[in-house]
Chain A
Amino acid sequence: MEEWLREFRPIAPRPALKAQILAAARNPPRPGLIDRLWNRTTWMAIAAGALVAVGLYAVPVRVDPDIAEQAFRRAQQKLPERIVVWTGRSETPRVMIARLEGPNQLRLEELK
């Protein structure tokens, strides 16, 4: 049966198709804006950004309560206070400057 089937030749593409396809492959159509925005690199950048954001903001800054209270009092007197904090999941303490952000809030700034 197979041999009999093979006696019939498959229809071939028109000869000009080869040049047409190779030309298209050489100069591919430029992807649309949406495709360019949402390519794989973009998704990876978004995922990396989300991870950094979670690392920086979602995980709380830990401060010793006594130090925080002292820093708060000094900040109320407009005296910038250096305090020791632990950010994110890091076990390594960092020294930051505490300034008064609001009536009951401190803002931590990087040391310059």
Chain B
Amino acid sequence: MQTVAAAPASMRLMDFLERSYETFGPKLYHYLLGILRSAADAEDALQTVFVKLAQRDKDDEIEDLTSYLFSAARHEAIRLRDKRRSARKREDASQAGVEQPAPPPDLLAATEERELDRRKLEAAIAHLPEEQREVVLLKVWEGLTFREIASVLGVPQDTAASRYRYALEKLKQELGD
């Protein structure tokens, strides 16, 4: 857990933002990519998170920057996804779905010899229920603790842990491990 009691007055805002991006930017991007399944939307959401971080009230202290940023990213992702869904519904109603949506971008990278495993894993992750998928992303690749995950998702810690356990079981079954 990384605890930062807001940006100290002496620290310039841009330094604070730059350090925050270096620490959390790639992790937040990967998490957003996993939820939104679109690189452009993940970039937009990430930018909104950092703009809001820059604009926040100076009196609003951030006790836990990890939870704060991932919660903000999740809220923004949900907002953006709902917006896209309603736009898509309107388009479908008017054009009866002329264009097929683009395939989701890759979430993971691997060496050439592991490429087949990677594809299987991506497919297995895509088949997970969303609530389990985000716990797996946050725990395995974003490195959050169950306490932090619970705070981000707004669920009890036990719920976060059990979602993770179910997700791993499903992944094992699907990958035939």
* Interface of A toward B, CB cutoff 8 Å: 1-2, 4-13, 17-18, 20-22, 24-26, 28-29
Contacts and interface: CB of A to CB of B under 8 A. Distances in A.
Contacts of A4: 177
B21 A22 contact: yes
A8 B177 contact: no
Interface size class of B (residues with CB under 8 A): 35 or more
Nearest to A29: B51
B26 A12 contact: yes
B33 A11 contact: yes
B30 interface: yes
B18 interface: yes
A8 B118 contact: yes
Interface stretch (B61-69, B71-79, B85-93, B101-109): B101-109
Nearest to B141: A10
26 contacts: A1-B168, A1-B171, A1-B177, A2-B168, A5-B121, A5-B136, A8-B110, A8-B118, A8-B121, A10-B26, A10-B109, A10-B141, A11-B30, A11-B33, A12-B29, A13-B29, A13-B42, A17-B25, A17-B46, A18-B22, A22-B18, A24-B47, A24-B51, A25-B17, A25-B51, A25-B54
